[in-house]
Amino acid sequence: MALPRKLARPDFEAPNVGVWLNPDHLPIEAKASLWELLPKRMTHDQKAHFLSLVGESVQGVTAFRQAAPAAAQVAELRLIEDRARGLLIALGKLSGDTRRALKAHATYLALGSDPPDRLSASAVGVVLNVDLSLAGYWWDTVQDIETATAYTAAQFEPAKNERPKIANARLLAMHAARNYYSVAGKLPPSGKRSWFAPFTAELGKFAGSSIGAALVESVVLEMRGLGEYPDKAPAATPTRVRAFFKAPKKPPD
């Protein structure tokens, strides 16, 4: 009898704690269209510096954007919790004869000379432990899964109006405004008809976010009210602008 085909194991151990930032992340088409939307009073180097910073922000926001609302994450966890409970009930109904047969055949799958399939490396230690029941080990593991998923799900407080797409758009607009502040020494204009609204909308297209003028205005006004961005002298632009950054336009002669 053929054994069920194993599912591909996801890379649960893959790190997801950082992102390598490319100073010239924006493609030439995006840089060219964004360049045209920048105010004429900005110097060539300021524009290049600003777009380089914006490109780095896009990478960070994209890498760590919120993809699933809390309600969806709770649903994922509750599904695992429910399935774990069902598996515990099934394990609890195993007879002594069934448990012994399971241990014997699992031992062959883990250590046998020519098994039709191999159990995982973690199963070897279990079958070698004469004092540990295989069914008991599985019970403890599944019980831990049920407990951990139930506890994690309980920590979320889903809101009916939670919208990750809007949260991601606001984050990108905030970063763009912060980038401009670091170059120009002041926050961008908040008006819906200002240059910053269409600039951020165009940036959103490249980053996969829909950013409306009203959202941009609310973000800038909110940042202005924080008191963390007082008007000051413009920050000095690095001599080489930004390493490896290629501006879409050459400076005027």
pLDDT of 89-143, one tens digit each?
999 999 999 998 988 898 899 888 888 888 888 888 888 876 778 888 899 999 9
Is the separation of the CB atoms in 200 and 57 below 8 Å?
no
Query: What number of other Cβ atoms are within 10 A of residue 152's Cβ?
Result: 15
pLDDT digit string, tens, across residues 25-67: 888 888 899 999 999 999 888 898 899 888 888 887 776 555 5
Is the separation of the CB atoms in 99 and 75 below 8 Å?
no
Closest CA to 58 of 180, 173, 181, 194: 173
Look at the block and give the residue holding tokens 């269209």: 33
Contacts 24+ apart (CB under 8 A), 14-22: 19/59, 19/60, 19/63, 19/64, 21/56, 21/59, 21/60, 22/55, 22/56, 22/59, 22/244
Query: What number of other Cβ atoms are within 10 A of residue 197's Cβ?
Result: 24
Is the separation of the CB atoms in 244 and 31 below 8 Å?
no
pLDDT band at 229 (very low <50, low <70, confident <90, very high): confident
Confidence check: pLDDT of 217 > 90: yes
- The confidence score (pLDDT) of residue 122 equals 82
- Give the residue, 149 or 251, on which the prediction is more confident: 149
Q: Is the pTM of this model over 0.75?
A: no
pLDDT digit string, tens, across residues 8-24: 887 776 655 555 566 67
pLDDT band at 247 (very low <50, low <70, confident <90, very high): confident
Residue 249 CA to residue 253 CA, distance in Å, equals 12
pLDDT band at 242 (very low <50, low <70, confident <90, very high): low
